[in-house]
Amino acid sequence: MIQDPEAWEAWETEYKKSTVVDFERNKIIYEALYAEAVRLGALPPKDLMENLSFKIRLAEALNVRRAE
């Protein structure tokens, strides 16, 4: 548990400002994770249409429109 949330937020903000995003490193990590998922059989999905009706209902439920 964070004892001093304000100090944590100040540190986090400063850390984000001082840290440079390394796109190439992130890409290498992503590709390694994707390759691992393929090796384990989790990706790509065997049937792209599997659970399509569920995914459509979920997308409709999450696409909340505000009343005008």
Q: What angle do CA 52, 55, 56 make, to 5 degrees?
A: 85
Number of structural domains in the chain: 1
Q: How far apart are CA 65 and CA 10, in angstroms?
A: 35
pLDDT tens readout for residues 13-31: 999 999 999 999 999 999 9
Residue 66 pLDDT: 67
- Confidence (pTM): 0.51
Tell me what pLDDT residue 51 has: 85
Distance separating alpha carbons of residues 41 and 46, to the nearest angstrom: 9
Residue 52 placed within a domain = yes
CB atoms within 10 A of CB 34: 13
Residue 2 lies in a domain: no
The answer to whether 43 touches 37, Cβ cutoff 8 Å, is yes
Looking at the domain assignment, is residue 55 inside a domain?
yes
Range of the domain at 29: 17-62
Instruction: Report pLDDT for 68.
Output: 64
Give the residue ranges of the chain where pLDDT is below 70.
66-68
